[in-house]
Structure 1
């Protein structure tokens, strides 16, 4: 039994080594699950009782160690501004819940093995795993940071075909390779040949080599349509933990303008400022924003740039005469306030375009299952005011400059949702503007992973990414996923880049995660029919 747990730990270590930000280690993913599959197979073939529980524990151990080693920085951020026990509870969402769902996929695989052959069971395992990844994208405790397909983010030359499948195609690719490697090694070790070894070697070669070759060809031959636009990204480097103690909102704005002017050109069309860059001592009323000194300062700044617009993160709110949303708070006299982590587009007209962040961080920006757990709102309010209570909008929306250029205002955490970002593109966005604040995580691998995942969005949609981080890594990513320019950690900076706008839609942009739905539907029907025939 001890050897089984050592195998599970080996899989966890391999998965961690393969994960960003370690460069070019992604191919380890093709065999990282093999030790765990060995351990599970030994349990299945053993005489012990309660095999299902043993399988569950092995898979949970792998998932927990892998997740904790890869995203340890989550607790780093939580513990800095929440009491220890609350920070631990929120950190358990990625540390514990993800591995629980991973272990459940293996537990269901074991149940299937009792009724079907190993072939159908492996189809089931892949389906259950994709089901977990799908669930972790769409429910209130969503945290798709560890979706398997994200693991290729630091070796993007291998996955140019994500423009067709998205990251779920990568998840399937990894699992097929692992299963084939496991079957080859298991047969050789047990000196059996249930499946012809030559066919397995051929299948493994085709599985790895063909998609990789196609991707390298796409990478080498892809050319961007020339449609230039000059864009500036700014990294002001404000300490998020002492934002109002170290520098006033007015001084922050002066710094943003000074950095923008340091690299701005007469033809600059977009200045991208980071998440919550525009703020006040208290959030900004969206209806009254034109009366704030910050608005006048930005208008004066833009007078130098004929076609310039500022796309910035902003801490804002709206006032209602009645409670329109579950996140609105009673302000007295039958008035309610809804706070937002938002983005705003400001140009030289009086028009303002706001976007309210939709994908909110569970436990920090929203109360999961808010209707059901409404009784806990006072607890969350006690630990951070707006914690657990930001308003949001249901669908993404594109912001447009006076010239007609459409930008996707993606705020921080939203950039890890492939299909959500694709919706911006379907609405007409010609490039992706990510505004974020990675300073919460400190100088950890979190900021590097977050940058790497932005490369996936560039490939899926064939759009440039302009990334402005308060601190972390700001920069530009082209349509092939190459990081063309980037800043360094904890350094105030501004970068300018001529990007190419794109209006063409990739297969993935048009159809989203259709590959996932096809695989899941086909696999589940196949398994269902097999189990039913076996039962009869």
Structure 2
């Protein structure tokens, strides 16, 4: 906040403290509700009520104030057998498995009964089996070139840097014209599409002549409706026959629909913008795209698209992932995080989406972490952070859907309601039994 918004260190630390206090309300709420409504009965309290309340808390955290479900507990298990539950009911089913495992271990220790260990053992065995289930069908290999421009965030939106920025991306692109598809990251073209029509048209014609598809992040201003969008556009060889071409502002694009508060839109902006520089960041007046949008078509392949932290919202993403969706394209710019763990956490979140949906995920970023995962979430290739480079990687298409893609969180909602009702019923019976004695 102090680096990019001009906010003083004291104010930045104060805001972080307020954020920490806010985030602590959710686990505190779980503890309060657990002790208020489920005070007795260790087994039902820990194995039924506690996991259900934890999931409820996560869902509230993921929706309140536009939502920020960053690093739910389930994300910690991308490298374990428990990740096998993700294609079934999403990352929160992995969270559920972790919480139930923890509850069973507490019971085993406090009651000194080894039988409770049966629960985590069976959960891990179940996850192992599910990991080996082929939910989607791999197909042909596609050769990608993911371009990492490594443009300093402090220079990215300077008008004088537009040409140097594009030259960097073009230099790497020209060396990789033999790829099937070249992909640039979020806002790689640091200007409005309205001002870059000639550039985009030339790119389209050049890439079509090379039989190469192209995906890039750019901004678009809809003059008719006075709305700006953070966009991704597919041009070059769009269909395999080469019959389609770039059309300004019309087709084959994705408009970001889950915007970053303050960074991409400012709530109550009339009142907040005059208060501090943090409320006047570049490109902080975007409009939302539609919740459902067509997949981007490039060289005949269909891409479900997510810009930056849209990958956190799997229930929103699944609305745009279909049987014939072959890839997930997650363009991003994590330069804001600097050398912190933020880019790596973001990468892990994106990886979980590949596991959940059974679709390979391509991730071109400005400064890292640029990477590619297969439909099982296995890392195929990546680039070091803070380097100007191109990642060449061959990735197989997939078709089909996972149970989570079809049903979303509905099974978990049913589980939560049923568990709370059963746990409460057992509480009533337990308390009645104590009263009789």
TM-score by length of 1: 0.71
Q: Distance in 2 between matches of 1:355 and 1:89?
A: 36
Contact 1:224 1:500 in 2 (8 A): no
Aligned partner (choices 174, 177, 182) of residue 271 of structure 1: 182
Q: Distance in 1 between matches of 2:430 and 2:284?
A: 48
How many angstroms does 1:146 deviate by?
2.5
Residue aligning to 2:240: none
How many angstroms does 1:98 deviate by?
2.3
- Encode CA deviations 1:377-426: one digit per residue, 9 max, x unaligned: 54478732557642112414234336432112211111122222222213
Is residue 41 of structure 2 the alignment partner of residue 117 of structure 1?
Answer: yes
Is residue 231 of structure 2 the alignment partner of residue 342 of structure 1?
Answer: yes
Residue aligning to 1:319: 223
Is residue 253 of structure 2 the alignment partner of residue 354 of structure 1?
Answer: yes
Structure 1: where are the runs of 5+ without partners?
1-76, 189-196, 322-336
How many angstroms does 1:469 deviate by?
0.5
- SS of the aligned residue for 1:473 comes to coil
Residue aligning to 2:146: 233
Residue aligning to 1:384: 280
Q: Distance in 2 between matches of 1:504 and 1:246?
A: 44
Contact 1:343 1:355 in 2 (8 A): yes
Is residue 407 of structure 2 the alignment partner of residue 518 of structure 1?
Answer: no
Q: Distance in 1 between matches of 2:81 and 2:383?
A: 22
Q: Distance in 2 between matches of 1:479 and 1:379?
A: 46
Residue aligning to 1:365: 264
How many angstroms does 1:502 deviate by?
1.4
Contact 2:220 2:228 in 1 (8 A): yes
Alignment of 1:44-443 (within 5 A): 79-84=3-8, 87-88=12-13, 91=16, 95-114=20-39, 116-122=40-46, 123-153=48-78, 155-156=79-80, 158-188=82-112, 197-208=113-124, 210-215=125-130, 217-218=132-133, 225-245=138-158, 248-265=161-178, 268-280=179-191, 283-285=192-194, 290=197, 293-306=198-211, 308-320=212-224, 337-347=226-236, 349-351=245-247, 352-367=251-266, 375-376=271-272, 378-379=274-275, 383-385=279-281, 389-401=285-297, 403-426=299-322, 428-443=324-339
How many angstroms does 1:245 deviate by?
4.8
How many angstroms does 1:242 deviate by?
1.9
Is residue 383 of structure 2 the alignment partner of residue 491 of structure 1?
Answer: no
Q: Distance in 1 between matches of 2:375 and 2:149?
A: 26
Contact 2:364 2:370 in 1 (8 A): yes
How many angstroms does 1:523 deviate by?
1.8
Contact 2:81 2:128 in 1 (8 A): no
Residue aligning to 1:9: none
How many angstroms does 1:143 deviate by?
1.1
Count of matched residue pairs: 420
Q: Distance in 2 between matches of 1:495 and 1:439?
A: 18
Relative to structure 1, is the Cα distance of residues 158 and 117 closer, same or farther in structure 2, using a 3 angstrom cutoff? closer
Relative to structure 1, is the Cα distance of residues 179 and 158 closer, same or farther in structure 2, using a 3 angstrom cutoff? closer
Q: Distance in 2 between matches of 1:415 and 1:204?
A: 29
How many angstroms does 1:92 deviate by?
5.4
- SS of the aligned residue for 1:401 comes to strand
Q: Distance in 2 between matches of 1:302 and 1:507?
A: 37
Structure 2: where are the runs of 5+ without partners?
238-244, 433-437
Relative to structure 1, is the Cα distance of residues 241 and 93 closer, same or farther in structure 2, using a 3 angstrom cutoff? farther
TM-score by length of 2: 0.86
Is residue 320 of structure 2 the alignment partner of residue 453 of structure 1?
Answer: no
Q: Distance in 1 between matches of 2:3 and 2:28?
A: 27
How many angstroms does 1:375 deviate by?
4.1
Contact 1:277 1:314 in 2 (8 A): yes
How many angstroms does 1:212 deviate by?
4.1
- Encode CA deviations 1:216-271: one digit per residue, 9 max, x unaligned: 644xx899522222222110110012224596212212221221221231xx3422
- Using CA pairs under 8 Å that are at least 6 residues apart, name the structure with larger relative contact order, 1 or 2: 2
Relative to structure 1, is the Cα distance of residues 366 and 117 closer, same or farther in structure 2, using a 3 angstrom cutoff? farther
Mean CA deviation greater in 172-181 or 401-410: 401-410
Relative to structure 1, is the Cα distance of residues 310 and 419 closer, same or farther in structure 2, using a 3 angstrom cutoff? same
Residue aligning to 1:60: none
Relative to structure 1, is the Cα distance of residues 229 and 247 closer, same or farther in structure 2, using a 3 angstrom cutoff? farther
Contact 1:397 1:427 in 2 (8 A): no
Q: Distance in 1 between matches of 2:295 and 2:168?
A: 24
Contact 1:158 1:212 in 2 (8 A): yes
